[in-house]
Amino acid sequence: MAAMLDASTDATRVRRYWRVLVQGLSWVLLAIAVYALWPASLGGGTSLVIVSGQSMEPTYSSGDLVVARKGDPQIGDVIIYAPEDLGGAQVVHRIIGGDAASGWVLQGDNNDFIDPFYPAGAEVRGIVHLHVPNAGVVTMWLLNPLLWCGVILLAMVIALWPSAGDEDDDEPEDGAEDGADDEAADQAAPVTLNDAKTSGA
C-alpha cells in the first residue's frame, strides 16, 4: 500500500513539473514572437509593408509582402523608410548612395530617377530581410494592432488558466481513498471480534 501511494505521489510530482516546463516554454516562445514580429508602429523593431506600384519590379511586385528589421543599412540594401513629408507613408526602395548621417540616396529598381527624399535616423524603419509574394491580405491582418493585443491577451489567459490536472492533484486519487478505507476496515475488524469474544466469555 505504501509503495502504491509513493508511486502515485511521484506521478503527480512529474505531472506538475511537466506543466511548469510547458508553461515556461510557452512564455519563452511568446517573448521570442513578440520580439521578432512586434511592429515598429507600436515601438517594436519589425516593419511589414505591402508593396504598391511597379517601382521595385522585378524584385518586388505590387501586392507582395516585405518584412524589415531595424539595423545598420549599407549601400545596396533595400530598406523601408517613412519620410516626414509623406505623413508616415512607407516606401520600399534600394540605397544607391549617401550615408546614415547626411541621409541615404534611394531609387526604385524599376525607376530611372532617384527619390526626392534623403531619409536618416528614425525615418529609416529597417532593412528588408524577407519577401513573401502576393501576401497582401495576410499582411493587413498582421499590421492590425488589435490582432496583436488579442494574441497577447489570449496567450496570457492560456498560460495563467488553471488546468484540470491542477484540480485533480489537490484531490486524493480514487485508488488511494479505497486503499485507506480498506486499511481502516482491516484495523477495525479485529477489535470488533475481540469485543465479541470478551462478551461471550
pLDDT in tens, 79-134: 999 988 887 789 999 999 999 999 999 999 999 999 999 999 889 999 999 898 88
Output the pLDDT for position 195: 44
CATH topology of domain 43-142: Umud Fragment, subunit A (2.10.109)
The more confident residue out of 168 and 137 is 137
Cis peptide before 162 (omega within 30 of 0): no
* pLDDT, average across residues 140-164: 75
Q: What percent of the chain has pLDDT over 70?
A: 65
Summary mean pLDDT of the chain: 76
Q: Within a 10 A sphere around the Cβ of 135, how many other Cβ atoms? A: 19
Is the full-model pTM beyond 0.75? no
Output the pLDDT for position 86: 83
